[in-house]
Amino acid sequence: MPKIKTHKGAQRRFHITGSGKILRVKGPKSHLRRRKAKRVKRLFDEKVALHPADRVRIKRLIPHGIS
């Protein structure tokens, strides 16, 4: 049986918490950042919980729960 490999792109984009939740970073974080308001830029800094519909797919890409 071959080893299950981690998808390196998903490993960099997602973070698994100790309780098993998967966190992601919000989308247009770096593009055209100078013209965005400070409040909007602060909102892009926080991590958001992944939608439950996507959780199964991402868990398959990160099988070992790398944080």
Show me where the domains of the chain are located: 8-61
With a threshold of 0.85, does the pTM exceed it? Answer: no
What span, in angstroms and rounded, lies between the C-alpha atoms of 63 and 60?
5
Q: Which residues contact 28 (CB under 8 A, 6 or more apart)?
A: 44
Which tokens sit at 25? 């970073």
- How would you label 50-60 residue by residue, b for 16+ Cβ within 10 Å and e otherwise? beeeeeeebbe
Q: Note the pLDDT of residue 29.
A: 80
CATH number of 8-61: 4.10.410.60
Per-residue pLDDT tens over the stretch 17-66: 988 899 998 888 888 888 989 998 888 888 999 999 999 999 999 988 76
